[in-house]
Amino acid sequence: MSVFLVSQLTIHDREEYAKYESQFMEIFNQFAGKLLSVDDNPTVLSGEWKASRSVIAEFPNKKSLMAWLMSEDYQRISKHREAASTALSIIANDLAALQND
């Protein structure tokens, strides 16, 4: 079952973040991920949105998402993201997972 990585990011150092972005897709693509949305101006429907970017990514399963996240290559570039931004991230299950419970 698919899982989704949903993130809210506030980027405070674009130059440092660019180091992360320049290598991101090459690594991401190795883990069967699909980038569904990257939005620097999401439309807020309710509540207070404090982040400057939203990201939604899909993976075939939690195992592939975690393999990407913990991979040596991703860990190497994630230091740039961590230095340049703050993030809130969750893993959300595909609706089909709820229907099978």
Q: For 34-60, how does the pLDDT look when each residue is reduced to its tens digit (9 = 90+)?
A: 999 999 999 999 999 999 999 999 999
Whether residue 87 is contained in a domain is answered as: yes
Q: Is 79 left (phi over 0), alpha (psi -120 to 50) or beta?
A: alpha
CATH code at 61? 3.30.70.100
The HSE-up count of residue 22 (CA atoms within 13 Å, CB side) is 7
Domain assignment of residue 29, given as a range: 3-42+50-96
Q: How many domains does the chain have?
A: 1
Sorted by sequence, the CB contacts under 8 Å of residue 62 that are 6+ apart come out as 3, 91
Whether 32 is covered by a domain: the verdict is yes
Q: What is the pLDDT of residues 88-97, one digit of tens each?
A: 999 999 987 6
What pTM, to 2 d.p., does this model score? 0.89
**Assigned domain for 83 exists:** yes
